[in-house]
Copies of this chain bind each other. A is one copy, B any other.
């Protein structure tokens, strides 16, 4: 039984920024499943397990190809029933809400802070590809996209909402980390991988939780290389 996760890498292949790949890595770790990762760049789709699909994460689980992080998570929870990613349908519903909150409150502030450091740390052959695809998606140049003068302040104020659960509980999942924690930590690993620069100040209980998340699974996330 082998499990291989195709994982997006920067110029230094050990640096793996993709939040969607991070979500899958956290899920595999949570379930105690062994896996190896294979670094792929942004542009060279020929190296992807399904070049026509052209995206990661893709997991090859004992010869079966599973694509797209929500599908991979569902696959893992269906195939490996011990240690479900969420204990109840309520916890699963909450993870979906955290995802929507990230999309509306976190990414619009975090993206502008991260994009230029990320592109600078990408492999030279990937930079044009990243710029072209993101500029098409955002409808503006990356420099315009990055020019949000109050991005750090907006991010700090959005992250403060996490202080409510994390002031009372060690994890968003309560006493132990669950899918909600992995969903929220994944973009923060994107941020952490892309640059070591201090970009904003993390509210205290959120920073303490982040340290706990970095410590999980033998410090897997803490050991992850940063650009």
Residues of chain A touching chain B, judged by Cβ–Cβ distance below 8 Å, are 86-94, 96-101, 103-105, 157-158, 160-169, 171-175, 178, 180
Q: Residues of B contacting A168 with CB < 8 Å? A: 92-93, 96
Q: Residues of B contacting A97 with CB < 8 Å? A: 94, 97-98, 161-162, 164-165, 172
Closest residue of B by beta carbon distance from A86: B90
CB atoms of A92 and B174 under 8 A apart: yes
A84 to B168, CA, bound (A): 18
Between A97, A98, A168, the greatest number of chain B beta carbons within 10 A of the residue's beta carbon is seen for: A97
CB atoms of A90 and B93 under 8 A apart: no
CB atoms of B164 and A100 under 8 A apart: yes
User: Could you tell me the dominant secondary structure of chain A's interface residues?
Assistant: helix
* A179 smallest CB distance to B (angstroms): 9
* A178 smallest CB distance to B (angstroms): 5
Between A87, A96, A166, A173, the greatest number of chain B beta carbons within 10 A of the residue's beta carbon is seen for: A96
CB atoms of A90 and B180 under 8 A apart: yes
A68 to B163, CA, bound (A): 21
Closest residue of B by beta carbon distance from A92: B174
Q: Residues of B contacting A93 with CB < 8 Å? A: 165-166, 168-169, 171-174, 180
The 8 closest A-B pairs by CB, nearest first: A89-B174, A100-B164, A94-B94, A93-B165, A100-B161, A90-B174, A96-B164, A96-B165
